[in-house]
Structure 1
Amino acid sequence: MTSQSTLTKEGDLPGTPGQSPSPDGLKAGLKNRHLSMIAIGGVIGAGLFVGSSSGIAAAGPAILLSYALVGMLVVFVMRMLGEMAAASPNSGSFSAYADRALGRWAGFSIGWLYWFFWVVVLAVEATAGAEILEGWMPAVPQWGWALIVMVVLTATNLVSVSSYGEFEFWFAGIKVVAIGAFVIVGLLAVFGVLPGSDNPGAGLAHLTDAGGFMPNGAGAILAGVLLVVFSFMGSEIVTLAAGESENPRRAVTKATNSVIWRVGFFYLGSIFVVLTLLPWNDKSIEEKGSYVAALDSIGIANAGQIMNVIILTAVLSCLNSGLYTASRMAFSLGERGDAPKAFAKVNAKGVPTAAILASVVFGFVAVYFNYAYKDTVFLFLLNSSGAVALFVWLVICFTQLRMRGILLREAPTRLTVKMWLFPYLTWATAAMITFVLGYMVVDEANRQVALLSIAVAAVVVAIAVTREKFFPRPAAATVPAPRDEEVEPVSGV
């Protein structure tokens, strides 16, 4: 039986709040405040802080349009995912829904690709965090810091889901407060009302005074899309975590409805501030990083160290959520018979210990490759997982096209969140994602990532189809249909 596959009346999980068991043994240890912060902070990855300068260099002020296009895709995809997750909260999220709507091969393939993506991310983020920590305390070697960070966050996830939620609440909270403060202080400086600002030239004129709004042409907007698209990965985590919350349906609904302002404020808002505080071609943006350069321009002391603290927090948040996400996907695959049965077992606290340990072991292996074979093995791992975000979004689109009909037949009252302009907007979103994938193939800088990712995906799909043909799944491991029950309306849908 899959997580939360048998639906209950609103209240969702019976028993004591915060400790109630779900049908599969997971426990509802995530509180509403945990889910709220995971939803808000999940869309803010370390890539926003680190990668935005390269996007600005490629497209100039028009990078705002790149962020807006990708943000629009994320909003649409999250709306589709929210429709399915609100109807049937599940620890396997889109993988379980794909299994039900498209077939076992789809759930198997996208589940394992997603798991692969996150265990590689563990290595990337552990190394990034270790570099910052080594700069502060060089007595401990970089590999030592990477090991310490991984061990601490593994222990956190092994204790209970509530300990993961608590750590993520504070990690995400720091990110949210930092970006919020940056946007507010930056806007005050832009409009000349920040006391003591050292940037008298700040203003909207910077959007056009260095070669126009599109200094590198309209085509650079698409190049910008490829640079920023992967910094949005993570917004879907809340739909996996909802299955272990006090009220899964309400949590998913709130997260889905708030994604527009989250993308608008944190991404578009902060990049707008950078572009209006400095000309897009200011050398300090690439030399120091876009956010540090912007803070320096208005006279914020120790801007570099402040940003290092924030980036470290974002890295730890990504590591924490990455390990949680990988383990829950492995758990869901184990439940459905698509991974070792041990992955689906939980301890007395409702923690899938084997799934966590298996994920972190592969994470440690990836960290080792990052140090020992950075330009060979690890580069292959990095490139071959690079387009997984787009694969996930595409599968969500096709799954929702099928799941809408299934839900209307089997549980129409569960459709409390609905995708706008269905099915036209769903098809349009799928077409846009396909176009971005196609553009990656023809773009020289991204061709290797696209082709390797497609090749690895093809191998996984081939394995899935072969398994489905020769090793049929036991009936007990199938994904049950949702049960139609009366539910209370959720406001704001």
Structure 2
Amino acid sequence: MTNSSTAVSPPHTHSEPSRGLSNRHIQLIAIGGAIGTGLFMGSGRTISLAGPAVVFIYVVIGFFLFFMMRAMGELLLSNLRYKTFADFAADLIGPWAGFFVGWSYWFCWIVTAIAELVAITGYVQFWWAAVPLWLPTVLVVLIVFLLNAVSVKNFGEMEFWFALIKIVAILALIVVGAIMALTHFASPDGHTAQLANLWNDGGWFPNGAMGVVAGFQIAVFAFVGIELVGTTAAEARDPRTTLPRAINSVPVRILIFYVGSLLAILVVTPWRSINPEQSPFVAMFALAGLAGAASVVNFVVLTSAMSSSNSGVFSTSRMMFGLSAEGSAPGIFKGLNRVGVPVRALYLTAGILLLTIPVLYAGDSIIEAFTLITSVASLLFVFVWSMILISYIRYRMKFPERHATSEYKMPGGVVMCAVVLAFFVFVAWALSTDPQTATGLVAVAAWLVVLGISWAFVRRTESHRQTFEWFKQEMARPVEHEHPSR
């Protein structure tokens, strides 16, 4: 390196990110990531489209995403210098892949977090209609920024309690549903809670094959964030233990929280009686005679949206740090504060999230546009998941010795990767069958074109070439020590 202004210094200005996340944090982050607001608010519409087949849909999506998670887990543990998806994509596929994955994942969480902030304003006004529109956004951004800037442990604590609230709400729903079914509870409209409600109105697939396809369009969005546990690996105290434990429990959690809650709803209320415009969780608790059912579920969904905003701040700051480390983003964002948090990237995220305020005052048309942007973000998550699988295939080709010695091998290996990628192609086709989500596909294509043009300029810069050379050397350097549990 020279002393000129174009010289590139190592990205980790002070140290690597702090490993402040304990096993307790990682496990609850994994649960929280697997339970999205889509389950609470969007499952009514999914049920109206697919009927009882919604249970099958969630199982299928969860099944394939589990293998994506296992591929991600083996990749991250094959080299503990991988901090983000962009890291192993850049190292295994090429610098362009790190650029595309990193910026796409950053964009996913930025627009998701802004959409959640818009939703939070609506949830707050459910209780206090006179609250200024700008106030909830400012308070949430300020709280999340300050807690994330102090230490990564604070992020873990917030996610721990947010996830716990979601867990309690879903388990309560399952217990209430089981009691109502066992006692053959009769609703005011004359319906009886019974197991036969699952099949006595048109069977398991009352709307046929296209009903199932329509269900996939919405249900896949509910799993956005399931990969979030992967972004915590760099800051987990003992990733070789906590990451496999968190990923391995994903199937059980999907069966309990998704399948269990949906079965409870469908057993108590015939699927045709469920209002697609309302949360079936609200209707279920209201049937049970729970006072203030709407307020209870509103509180749960509010905390779920807070969790998503918190995850967005965490993920975007870490991804921007990683992009800067590879030379794919301005070097100013590669600095860490004294506790190992990429605080400059946090400032950027907080500033962008405040753009929610003009959106709130722009009117309904902007809110509708944000619905489209959120679907775009969800489609980009599918793109990121696909790139994780392609990275795994490249890993098996380039480093067969690492796979041979891996203690956490992906079941099915490359063959299963191909099967899951084929499923993602099916998801893309399913999304193309609906006009609104088809527009999202066009927007995603436009985003990738913009990234391609940007990459054509970035790849030619001397700073990117030098920084990426440093990055490759870092990825090849052996890990000097592990971080045991404390």
- Report if TM-score (shorter chain) is over 0.5: yes
Q: Aligned pair 1:403/2:381, yes or no? A: no
Please list, as runs of the form range in 1=range in 2, the aligned pairs for 1:123-138 lying within 5 A after superposition: 123-138=114-129
Q: Aligned pair 1:423/2:414, yes or no? A: yes
Partner of 1:187: 178
| Aligned AA (2:381) | A
Equivalents in 2 of 1:92, 1:485: separation in Å?
16
Q: Deviations over 1:315-369 (max 9, x none)?
A: 1111111111111111111111111112111011111111111112122224533
Q: Deviations over 1:95-128 (max 9, x none)?
A: 2111111111011111101101111111111121
Equivalent residues of 1:106, 1:461 under 8 A apart: no
Equivalents in 2 of 1:99, 1:446: separation in Å?
29
Equivalent residues of 2:118, 2:356 under 8 A apart: no
Q: Deviations over 1:430-450 (max 9, x none)?
A: 011012113322432321011
Summarize the Cα distance change of 1:484–1:350 in structure 2 as closer, same or farther, 3 Å threshold.
Answer: closer
Among 340, 344, 352, the residue aligned to 1:350: 340
Partner of 1:476: 470
Equivalents in 2 of 1:484, 1:327: separation in Å?
24
Summarize the Cα distance change of 1:462–1:69 in structure 2 as closer, same or farther, 3 Å threshold.
Answer: farther
Q: Deviations over 1:171-198 (max 9, x none)?
A: 111111221222233223223389x998
Please list, as runs of the form range in 1=range in 2, the aligned pairs for 1:218-297 lying within 5 A after superposition: 218-283=209-274, 285-297=275-287
Summarize the Cα distance change of 1:340–1:373 in structure 2 as closer, same or farther, 3 Å threshold.
Answer: farther
Equivalents in 1 of 2:174, 2:478: separation in Å?
45
Among 427, 452, 457, the residue aligned to 1:461: 452
Summarize the Cα distance change of 1:213–1:22 in structure 2 as closer, same or farther, 3 Å threshold.
Answer: farther
Equivalents in 2 of 1:409, 1:230: separation in Å?
36
DSSP 3-state at the match of 1:445: helix
Q: Deviations over 1:205-237 (max 9, x none)?
A: 111233332221122111101111011011111
Q: Deviations over 1:55-74 (max 9, x none)?
A: 01111111112212211121
DSSP 3-state at the match of 1:417: coil
Among 48, 51, 73, the residue aligned to 2:42: 51
Q: Aligned pair 1:150/2:141, yes or no? A: yes
TM-score by length of 1: 0.88
Partner of 1:8: none
Summarize the Cα distance change of 1:29–1:470 in structure 2 as closer, same or farther, 3 Å threshold.
Answer: closer
Q: Deviations over 1:256-311 (max 9, x none)?
A: 1111111111111111111111011115x335311111222232222111111111
Summarize the Cα distance change of 1:235–1:89 in structure 2 as closer, same or farther, 3 Å threshold.
Answer: farther
Q: Aligned pair 1:88/2:79, yes or no? A: yes
Equivalents in 1 of 2:434, 2:477: separation in Å?
43
Equivalent residues of 1:156, 1:163 under 8 A apart: yes
Summarize the Cα distance change of 1:411–1:134 in structure 2 as closer, same or farther, 3 Å threshold.
Answer: same
> Gaps (5+ residues) in structure 2?
1-11
Equivalent residues of 1:91, 1:241 under 8 A apart: no
Among 299, 313, 326, the residue aligned to 2:316: 326
TM-score by length of 2: 0.89
Equivalent residues of 1:110, 1:392 under 8 A apart: yes
> Gaps (5+ residues) in structure 1?
1-20
Partner of 2:7: none
Equivalent residues of 1:386, 1:449 under 8 A apart: no
